[in-house]
Every structure is written in C-alpha cells, then in structure tokens.
Structure 1
C-alpha cells in the first residue's frame, strides 16, 4: 500500500478539489476519480492507504467500489470513508455492510474529514 496516498472518488469536481487541498495540507497525497470505474482502476494500480468515496457516482457507485476493495486481497486493509448527501440510518448501515469504515454526511467539513481519516488509518491492520 502507498502509505501516503488517498483516493478521492466523487463525481463533483468541487468536492474533489476541496478534499485534495485539505488532505495535501495535512501531509497526504491525493488523487481524484470522477466515477467509480476510474476509481477502481486507480485502486488496483496505486493501492492507496485510504479511499474517500461518494455513494452516488456514474458507472460504479460507492457501495460497489467499497465491496470491490474489500474483496481484493491487496486492498482489504485500506481505510474507506463514505460520504453522501444521504444520512439516513439505512444509508449509513448499507455503507457499513458494503465494508466502509466510516460514513460522513454532506456538506463536508474538510477538517473533520482529515481527522476522521487519520483515525481510520491508525486503526487499520499494519498501521
């Protein structure tokens, strides 16, 4: 795993930019993907330490992307944080069942995202 790389999978360029600035300001490298299929390709090549994924994206949604990561041996230990405009208990539960480690509702607060991600990374095996 790339110990400093975070993948941001979100179809909203403004969200990707906001999170990239926050993560890079916290000492991480960030790479963005505007849809699930692109994110899946990046995951298999770059093997980031963590992924932030929106639930709703074109071509492959965040739930599918999360399940893909959890079923790929080289990515199983990656921290996964889901973000979504849906914050109903059902949506949060579905994210956790898919394999997410955390779930944050939009609108996003960059400092909270960085803090949550650091915590998730520290709790992963081999951290």
Structure 2
C-alpha cells in the first residue's frame, strides 16, 4: 500500500483539480481519473491508502467501485470517501452500506474533505493494525 497516495475518481475535471490541490497541500500524492472502471484497475496497481469517488460516473458508478474495493482482499482496507450532489438520507445510507467510510455532499469544502479523509485513513489503519 502506498501510504501517501490518494486516488480521486470523478468525471468532473474541476472537482478533481480542486481536490488535487487541497490534498497535495496537505502532503498527499494524488492520482486522478474520470471513470470508475479506470479507478477499479488502478486500485490494485497503484495501491492507494485512500479513494475519493463520485457517486455518478461513466461505466462504473461510485457505489459499484466501493463494493468492488471492499470485496477484493488487496483493497479491502482502503479508506473511501464518497462524494455526491445528492445528499438525502437514503443516498448516504446506500453509500455507507456499499462500504464508504464517509459520504460528503457537493459542493465540497476542500478542508472538510481532507479532514474526513485523514480521519478515515487513521480509523482504517488502526482497525487493520489491531
């Protein structure tokens, strides 16, 4: 696992750019992709410590990506923050049931996202080490 790498999966280039800047300022390395299927392939190759995924993306949505990550032993412990413009209770519940550690609403506060991601990574690491 690359303990400093965050994979960002979002089909919106502006969102990826904002998240990249915020995460790199916080000391993370980033890898951004615009499709869920690309992110699924990179999860096992790049071995990031964290994944930020939009719910709605072409070819594989964030829910599917999250479930896939949790099913694979090599990626089961990656910290996952799901982001979406849809923030109804049933959407949040579905994201958390799919395996996301956090579910945040767009538009995002980059500072909040970095904090939530850092906390999710810390929780996953403590859980894995126990």
TM value normalised by structure 2: 0.96
CA distance in 2 between counterparts of 1:10 and 1:110 reads 15
Aligned counterpart, 2:75:
75
Deviation at 1:41, TM superposition (A): 1.1
Deviation at 1:126, TM superposition (A): 3.3
Deviation at 1:78, TM superposition (A): 0.6
Aligned counterpart, 1:92:
92
Aligned counterpart, 1:126:
129
Q: Which runs of 4+ in 1 moved over 6 A?
A: none
Matching of residues 94-113 of structure 1 within 5 Å:
94-113=94-113
TM value normalised by structure 1: 0.98
Query: Deviations 1:46-105 (Å, cap 9, x if unpaired)?
Result: 010000000000000000000000001011111000000000000000001100000000
Matching of residues 37-56 of structure 1 within 5 Å:
37-56=37-56
CA distance in 2 between counterparts of 1:113 and 1:40 reads 21
Residue 6 (structure 1) aligned with residue 6 (structure 2): yes
Gaps of 5+ in 2: none
User: Aligned-pair RMSD on alpha carbons?
Assistant: 1.0
Q: What SS does structure 2 have at the residue aligned with 1:8?
A: strand
Q: What SS does structure 1 have at the residue aligned with 2:59?
A: coil
Gaps of 5+ in 1: none
